[in-house]
Structure 1
């Protein structure tokens, strides 16, 4: 009995040491990827490690082929200090921005620099089956052009247009009620055996901004996406808010006016019905506006017409600013963010033209105290943010464990 208890105690100690080493590895690698370079002393300080622990962790990362010594810094009265950087070619990640009108699929290296991209669709609304074909075809095109890199692709991340739930067995399902789709199993969307990760597109946008953009180093932020749809990612205490089943922050379907315009989800007066691209253009058309298309060009025509004095466009934009300020002010009151970050292709257009007005109306719609405690920012990466954030998911899996463990878990899940 005593021997068995001793063995169990030693096993627990071994697991604790291994878990601690894994945590230290994760902290060191994450620091290097976001900082781009650093010394062992800087890694120790950032990750809260001793000098000896930092040296051991760096040695492990060099052995994995993920980190390399790339230069020397002179030091006063001692040996030069080695500069460490992530090895760009050490690992690759795919991120996909999946929408109802097609997919944008991008390949990133370990420095999260985009090295290739592929588009499919883009003109008409598609079904889940068509999107699965487009996604698989786009990933295959990347594979054909990057055969020498493919063995080091860690996985594929998808930013999807709806709620993504993960059950206890790790099986993911997409619920895109606003598009009228039945529940969609996520794994069959990709006809490749690469590890697959999925999340709501607005949440992947928030991930990108948290890791590399306007929300980096910020404990409390709201990241809003305005495009054809409207979405939200909330960072609270440094963590992405998900709720009990991953459907938290479906702000696009919060009702602003029960007698308002019909939303794509079938309800009336949702934020998306007012502030999604089609809702904005429908309001302009109903007031007598004339424009071409339904996307980037049409929103640009509205803003240009308002700026040149067209009275219908002017009134449409004034109402848009009021509605946007009201919606964002509600988020400020709910979450007390340090930053309100606006993205998506519609959001970026609005911020380019109207950011001072948007900030003023948001503060006016907020309670005075929280309304004085945030700053308004545009997303850092423009239209590429969702795909970058999607690629962060396989990056996080590599940071959490050596790539051999990631692939082993993926193989067990697939088989």
Structure 2
């Protein structure tokens, strides 16, 4: 019960920011004495820190308590179709350091080698007394990677090694902290829940636009994964613009934009290093945004016939202006669809941005150790 109550307090402070003990007692229903005991223990463990006293009210000044940035650290590893990235975050979710490698396609052994060497390098930069506060690593990666060889234009045998490769176990063998694994788009949706606004929609459908588009589903403020891969939105059927249908992944993925750029002689590796230095043809980007928005709108209509959610959030490995344009264009395209009999969700941008998958990975040990649903 004490462990649950400690998680409850930490979850409350993560959602609402610094709070005084009296406010925490009112919000949780715990007695003032119980809250005082919990807060002293968490402060003694270095997980909480005191703020400046708030004066001006009757009685003793209240002292807000907040999460201590250095209370714990978390590692997040994103394995993508065109890049692999590792981040180290503090207890507040701030990225302290990162390492990135662009590849033509992901290979199991090369990915493990990168992860182990870079984790060791990132941890070496932490003071000795802080390394023991690393609570774990979360891996965010596409499931069934071996099935995507054709769409990656890679020979199937080069991806076959992923079929029986347990990357979680391989990396965990090198370290003494726990290692977790989750689908990359579901992890990104989890980051939206943990690090996004806490006063918004509790039920939302989530699209993450990466090399391939994927998604996640939040119900009542919790990530819903079903048997492990729920809301894998990429395979949703959408019109192909030629009188037939294709998958959403074939129109709304960044791999489609990259293929168009490559066919016209443009260099594209900069797309996968960061989202602040994209050097892409504006006309081609605009064409892709229009096509992706039409496909996304159709997918939203289809999903709305099954799910009654408040919002659809769109995020991805995109520069902020491109993400905002995609949201706006999707909203406009939605109005062009037949939505008779449907209650449509509002369309809005995700709040975590391009780091959603890596932060989603980092949120796995954070949630496992310190939060309640």
Cα deviation, residue 139, structure 1: 0.4
Q: 1:329–1:347: structure 2 CA closer, same or farther, 3 Å change rule? A: farther
Number of the residue aligned with 2:41: 60
Structure 1 gaps of 5+ residues are 1-18, 164-174, 261-267, 308-312, 402-415
Cα separation, 2, equivalents of 1:350 and 1:134: 30
Number of the residue aligned with 1:112: 93
- Residue aligned with 1:85, SS: strand
- Residue aligned with 2:305, SS: helix
Cα separation, 2, equivalents of 1:107 and 1:317: 32
The structure with the larger Rg is: 1
Number of the residue aligned with 1:183: 164
Q: Deviations over 1:360-390 (max 9, x none)?
A: 2134436356544x22222222211111121
Q: Which of residues 199, 212, 234 in structure 2 aligns to 1:229? A: 212
Q: 1:64–1:300: structure 2 CA closer, same or farther, 3 Å change rule? A: same
Q: Which of residues 267, 271, 274 in structure 2 aligns to 1:296? A: 271
Q: More helix by proportion, 1 or 2?
A: 1
TM alignment of 1:3-22, pairs within 5 A: 19=1, 21-22=2-3
Structure 2 gaps of 5+ residues are 150-158
- Residue aligned with 1:34, SS: helix
Indicate yes or no: 2:104 matched with 1:134.
no
Q: Which of residues 354, 362, 365 in structure 2 aligns to 1:391? A: 362
TM alignment of 1:311-326, pairs within 5 A: 314=287, 317-326=289-298
Indicate yes or no: 2:352 matched with 1:377.
no
Cα deviation, residue 349, structure 1: 5.7
Cα deviation, residue 232, structure 1: 0.6
Cα contact 1:330–1:365 (8 A) shared by 2 = no
**Range with greater deviation from structure 2 (146-155 or 69-78):** 69-78
Cα separation, 2, equivalents of 1:271 and 1:177: 16
TM alignment of 1:161-172, pairs within 5 A: 161-162=142-143
Q: Which of residues 174, 183, 195 in structure 2 aligns to 1:200? A: 183
Number of the residue aligned with 1:338: 310
Q: Deviations over 1:323-360 (max 9, x none)?
A: 22212322333322212111111485643334322112
Cα contact 2:138–2:361 (8 A) shared by 1 = yes
Q: Which of residues 183, 187, 195 in structure 2 aligns to 1:212? A: 195
- Residue aligned with 1:367, SS: coil
User: Which TM-score applies when normalising by structure 1?
Assistant: 0.76
Q: 1:217–1:102: structure 2 CA closer, same or farther, 3 Å change rule? A: same
Cα separation, 1, equivalents of 2:87 and 2:124: 14
Q: 1:116–1:319: structure 2 CA closer, same or farther, 3 Å change rule? A: closer
Cα separation, 2, equivalents of 1:31 and 1:366: 42
Number of the residue aligned with 2:283: 305
Cα separation, 2, equivalents of 1:400 and 1:346: 29
Q: 1:177–1:95: structure 2 CA closer, same or farther, 3 Å change rule? A: same
Cα separation, 2, equivalents of 1:293 and 1:362: 30
Q: Provide the aligned length of Structure 1 versus Structure 2.
A: 353
Cα separation, 1, equivalents of 2:289 and 2:43: 54
* Aligned-residue RMSD, C-alpha: 3.1
Cα deviation, residue 39, structure 1: 0.6
**Range with greater deviation from structure 2 (106-115 or 214-223):** 214-223
